[in-house]
Chain A
Amino acid sequence: SQQGEEDPQALSIQEGENATMNCSYKTSINNLQWYRQNSGRGLVHLILIRSNEREKHSGRLRVTLDTSKKSSSLLITASRAADTASYFCATDAKETSGSRLTFGEGTQLTVNP
């Protein structure tokens, strides 16, 4: 079963604005990852944050992790129309072995030019 919940389910913004997506999970994790999926395509790995990390940056992406609240956020700064996609968080739970990822429900981001 999916343990991740993401909000908002859908987000529509203008180019240049920042987009923030949130993810909550239920179990203890080894790490949390964010993926991007263009419509009808495979997933592209964006960033991985380990359970002992609180914040990580990669280009225009900023990810935070709060293990006490079991939540993470993905911030995309200065958004572009090309950022339009679905974004999923995925957790690698401590209780499971072999890097089995559990995906959240995803946020559909639309960046209007």
Chain B
Amino acid sequence: GAVVSQHPSWVICKSGTSVKIECRSLDFQATTMFWYRQFPKQSLMLMATSNEGSKATYEQGVEKDKFLINHASLTLSTLTVTSAHPEDSSFYICSAMGPHSGNTIYFGEGSWLTVV
């Protein structure tokens, strides 16, 4: 099946710094990518939808200036958590789909962010 790769798998950063998480579709062109956040033992909450070449659409309650999403190419989307705080610590998961992914949405392995 299609592969979506996230990097880094885990990251620890200091409060106030920014951290970037990458999401890559390895074998198909991802015209749409989604970013989710998941707290321990909870469900996934959609943060934003990004379409290649256009601005991301954020879900209600998600601060677009804090969670910067860039989808500059058909294989890469990035999520930058700016001025991170401990409450931003979470598991962030991306997913991707495209015209040749057969209507299936493929998920990355997720990235653990810990802000200390």
Which residues of A sit under 8 angstroms from B110, Cβ to Cβ? 40-42
Given A99-B32, A101-B34: A41 touches B46 (CB 8 Å cut-off): no
Which residues of B sit under 8 angstroms from A108, Cβ to Cβ? 41
**Does B107 contact A42, Cβ atoms closer than 8 Å?**
yes
Q: Does B91 contact A (CB under 8 A)?
A: yes
Which residues of A sit under 8 angstroms from B43, Cβ to Cβ? 2, 4, 88, 103-106
Q: Does B97 contact A (CB under 8 A)?
A: yes
Which residues of A sit under 8 angstroms from B104, Cβ to Cβ? 45, 48
Q: Does A98 contact B (CB under 8 A)?
A: yes
Closest Cβ–Cβ distance, residue B80 to chain A (whole Å) = 20
Closest Cβ–Cβ distance, residue B116 to chain A (whole Å) = 19
Distance A38 CA – B1 CA, assembled complex (angstroms): 18
How many A-B pairs have beta carbons closer than 8 Å: the answer is 55
Most buried by A among B44, B51, B93: B44
Interface size on B, residues (CB 8 A): 26
Which residues of A sit under 8 angstroms from B49, Cβ to Cβ? 98, 100
**Does A99 contact B107, Cβ atoms closer than 8 Å?**
no
**Does B105 contact A45, Cβ atoms closer than 8 Å?**
yes
Distance A41 CA – B104 CA, assembled complex (angstroms): 19
Q: Does A71 contact B (CB under 8 A)?
A: no
- The B interface, classified by DSSP as helix, strand, loop or mixed, is strand
Given A2-B43, A41-B110, A88-B44: A101 touches B105 (CB 8 Å cut-off): yes
Closest Cβ–Cβ distance, residue B27 to chain A (whole Å) = 15
Closest Cβ–Cβ distance, residue A33 to chain B (whole Å) = 8
**Does B45 contact A2, Cβ atoms closer than 8 Å?**
yes
**Does A42 contact B109, Cβ atoms closer than 8 Å?**
yes
Q: Please, which residue of chain A has its CB at the minimum distance from the CB of B36?
A: A103
Distance A75 CA – B18 CA, assembled complex (angstroms): 43
Distance A33 CA – B103 CA, assembled complex (angstroms): 11
Distance A74 CA – B3 CA, assembled complex (angstroms): 25
Distance A106 CA – B36 CA, assembled complex (angstroms): 15
Q: Does A43 contact B (CB under 8 A)?
A: yes
Residues of A within 8 A of B (CB): 2, 4, 33, 35, 40-45, 48, 88, 98-106, 108
